Amino acid sequence: MKIVVLDGYGANPGDLSWEPFRQLGELVVYPRTAPNELIGRAKDAEIVLTNKVVLDAQVLQELKLLKYVGVLATGYNVVDIQAAKRLGIVVTNIPSYSTDSVAQMTFAHILNIMNRVDHYAIENRNGRWSRNQDFCYWDTPLRELAGKTIGIVGLGHIGKKVACIARDFGMDVFAYTSKNAADLPEGIQKTTMDGLFAISDILTLHCPLTPTTRDLINKETLAKMKEGAILINTGRGPLVNEQDVADALASGHLGAYGADVMCQEPPTENHPLFKQPNAFITPHIAWATVEARERLMEIAVHNVKAFLEGNPVHVVNP
């Protein structure tokens, strides 16, 4: 059984071991795979693992030996799952491995915006505090989370974890979710999307990317938000129209934008958000803690073992 990893560097840049996969078959790991290299590298494989390399219908059709695709992520839009099903190819993903890490990054962005830790650390490294006449200084607004309203779009594992943390900070928690209001955890109030726009001091996105949620945040919906509100996106880049967000920041209507994802990754150097001082962008690393990646690798091995034993789990195209 030949196992080919198409883009192993993302999940495992060298600090974790691929050895458990070698115990399951002949393993070949490529750090990255360009589109023109894909067929040549995967044509002899029964099992392919991918993170961001796209396996569309045409590619799947050409991989005659392929029986299983393991997506090394929770989102599986990189694989045409309908085509895979027609061809008898099992596709699995890695659910819930990064819940704690993404919730943590969500609040890393929120806390940085509220307290501007990055700004003061850089200023002090450049000697500003040492030159200061008083025992302290500040030149940005410093605000508490307690008593603020956080609006959460999507109450999956990550959304619920964010809600739990927010409550511990003393925040009022509202959510837009398909779940029944009576089934929500204590302290979370259900409202409409327009309701979230109207009341949220901080709006954070944790919903899947679908045709309905694409460009959920745009010029029209930004206008419905509170003046000076904070927007956080650790979900998917295309949930927001980035030019509209940049424009809202430039006008001052949007107070700040914290994001770990972008519509194009890597983004262009002249991206409009990079010109906005109140845009805080991290390079899609919310999922990448050592602990989360260890869980990812463990679940990926478990998925392959289960497939080989004839009882596949975490199948996304049943």
Q: Which residues are catalytic?
A: 236, 265, 284
The answer, yes or no, to whether the previous bond of 266 is cis (omega within 30 of 0) is: yes
List the structure tokens of 282.
């991290």
Q: Which residues contact 124 (CB under 8 A, 6 or more apart)?
A: 130
Which candidate, 53, 164, 37, places its Cα nearest to that of 107?
Answer: 164
Half-sphere exposure of 39 (CA within 13 A, CB side): 10
Q: Exposed, middle or buried by CB within 10 Å (0-12, 13-18, 19+), for 93?
A: buried
Distance CA 94, CA 300 (A): 7
Q: Is 316 helix (H, G, I), strand (E, B) or coil?
A: coil
